[in-house]
């Protein structure tokens, strides 16, 4: 630590404060110390820190998988936000399984993590009691389940899917397929985004056509988007628009459409959800819903950091926070810019 202090031109106490996540440090000083840590390859003795301060400076991030673009990019945002607070992050992929998610909830009990940011996909609302009395700070992401005793950062799933569908309807598309349906009946993203799609159609007096439902029980990946699109097209149902529950599904769907000689957006317009990096570089570029991923990461880390400090301080903890990130529609080449004939 003394070497880091000399390299950064600060005191050892300042280095300690930065690495402990002390909030009242100027950004320029924090960045200089962290740059020195990187340059010298300094590694914190986590066990010694726990004995000395009662905290490790390490937090966990449990997500279904990092191979799915949304969660990979979310992890990057969490890592960056944590770095600004002088925190390290241990990432735990849970594999979309109940056992994996329960194991992730048990990890902090080993005493190595100060708290956990948790994005469940397999646990359901009846499991909410498992989030109570864990003995460490927990920030819940998404809308798979909810507990009023836990801090929660979520997104506008229903509103986002409705905005995507309304965009297509406003462009004169009324035979709209929806991709990413799951047979498992949960309160997760799939059912919420389907509600937004269904509500938009209902507001225009349009019934949901079962042939327009593209199923993706094996996951929201590109290959499954292509298969779901093929399923809809092979049903014989006319299609002039697609709402996909994430961008990976949408990109797979566009590949299937183009393989069959259909032009995007002239024949079929496509909207995704998540605004991943690939959406800006596929051909055509993908219209999508930005659910506020960076805001989700920054707010989750900020809340967790504050909860860790509360546990060590004399003050009384504040009530649980419910924060819903802002969303926006990002229009690109996969949808028409105006209604045909207008």
In a domain? residue 335:
no
Claim to verify: residue 283 and residue 169 sit in the same structural domain: yes
Claim to verify: residue 120 and residue 173 sit in the same structural domain: no
In a domain? residue 340:
no
In a domain? residue 30:
no
pLDDT attached to residue 317? 77
In a domain? residue 308:
yes
- Full pLDDT tens readout for the chain, 342 residues: 889 999 999 998 888 778 766 667 888 898 898 899 889 888 765 544 544 555 678 999 999 999 899 999 999 999 999 999 989 999 999 999 999 999 999 876 556 899 999 999 999 899 999 998 888 999 999 988 889 999 999 999 999 999 999 999 999 999 999 999 998 766 589 999 999 999 999 999 999 999 999 999 989 999 999 999 999 999 999 999 999 999 999 999 999 999 999 999 999 999 999 999 999 999 999 999 999 999 999 999 999 999 998 887 776 778 999 999 999 999 999 999 865 444
3-state secondary structure the chain: CHHHHHHHCCCHHHHHHHHCCCCCCCHHHHHHHHHHHHHHCCCCCHHHHHHHHCCCCEEEEEECCCCCHHHHHHHHHHHHHHHHCCCEEEEEECCCCHHHHHHHHHHHHHCCCCCEEECCCCCCHHHHHHHCCCCCCEEEECCCCCCCCCEEEECCHHHHHHHHHHHHHHCCCCCEEEEEECCCCCCCHHHHHHHHHHHHHHHCCCCCCHHHEEECCCCCCHHHHHHHHHHHHHCCCCCCEEEECCHHHHHHHHHHHHHCCCCCCCCCEEECCCCCHHHHCCCCCCEEEECCHHHHHHHHHHHHHHHHHHHHCCCCCCCCCEEECCCEEECCCCCCCCCCCC
Claim to verify: residue 173 and residue 97 sit in the same structural domain: no
Claim to verify: residue 240 and residue 186 sit in the same structural domain: yes
In a domain? residue 26:
no
Claim to verify: residue 193 and residue 248 sit in the same structural domain: yes
Claim to verify: residue 192 and residue 96 sit in the same structural domain: no
pLDDT attached to residue 186? 61
Q: pTM of this prediction?
A: 0.82
Claim to verify: residue 278 and residue 165 sit in the same structural domain: yes
In a domain? residue 204:
yes
In a domain? residue 18:
no
In which residue are the tokens 């598309």 written? 173
Bridge partners of 329, per DSSP, are 289
Domain holding 61, by residue range, is 44-155+293-325
Report the C-alpha gap between 169 and 260 in whole angstroms.
24
Claim to verify: residue 165 and residue 125 sit in the same structural domain: no
Claim to verify: residue 216 and residue 266 sit in the same structural domain: yes
Claim to verify: residue 117 and residue 232 sit in the same structural domain: no
In a domain? residue 15:
no
Claim to verify: residue 173 and residue 283 sit in the same structural domain: yes
How many distinct structural domains can be found in the chain? Answer: 2
Claim to verify: residue 148 and residue 167 sit in the same structural domain: no
CATH number of the domain within which 134 lies: 3.40.50.2300
């Amino acid at each position: 630590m003394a070497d880091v202090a000399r390299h950064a031109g600060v005191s050892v106490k300042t280095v300690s404060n930065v690495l402990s996540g002390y909030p009242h440090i100027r950004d320029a000083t924090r960045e200089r110390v962290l740059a020195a840590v990187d340059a010298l390859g300094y590694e914190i003795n986590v066990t010694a820190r726990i004995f000395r301060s009662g905290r490790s400076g390490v937090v966990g991030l449990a997500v279904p998988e990092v191979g799915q673009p949304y969660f990979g990019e979310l992890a990057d945002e969490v890592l960056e936000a944590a770095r600004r607070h002088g925190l390290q992050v241990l990432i735990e992929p849970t594999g979309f399984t109940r056992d994996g998610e329960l194991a992730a909830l048990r990890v902090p009990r080993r005493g190595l993590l100060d708290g956990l940011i948790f994005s469940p996909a397999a646990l359901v609302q009846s499991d909410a009691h498992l989030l109570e009395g864990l003995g460490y700070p927990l920030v819940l992401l998404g809308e798979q389940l909810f507990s009023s005793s836990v801090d929660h950062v979520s997104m506008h799933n229903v509103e986002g899917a409705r905005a995507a569908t309304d965009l297509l309807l406003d462009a004169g598309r009324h035979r709209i397929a929806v991709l990413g349906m799951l047979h498992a009946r949960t309160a997760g993203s799939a059912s919420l985004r389907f509600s937004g799609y269904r509500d938009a159609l209902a507001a225009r007096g349009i019934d949901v056509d079962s042939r327009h439902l593209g199923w993706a029980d094996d996951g929201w990946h590109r290959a499954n988007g292509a298969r779901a699109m093929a399923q809809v097209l092979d049903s014989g149902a006319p299609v002039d628009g697609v709402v996909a529950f994430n961008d990976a599904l949408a990109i797979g769907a566009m590949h299937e459409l183009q393989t069959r000689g259909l032009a995007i957006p002239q024949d079929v317009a496509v909207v995704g959800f998540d605004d991943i990096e690939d959406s800006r570089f596929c051909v055509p570029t993908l219209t999508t819903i930005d659910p506020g991923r960076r805001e989700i990461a920054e707010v989750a880390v900020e809340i967790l950091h504050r909860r860790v400090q509360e546990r060590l301080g004399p003050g009384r903890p504040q009530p649980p926070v419910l924060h819903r990130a802002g969303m926006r529609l990002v229009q690109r080449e996969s949808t028409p810019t105006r209604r045909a004939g207008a």
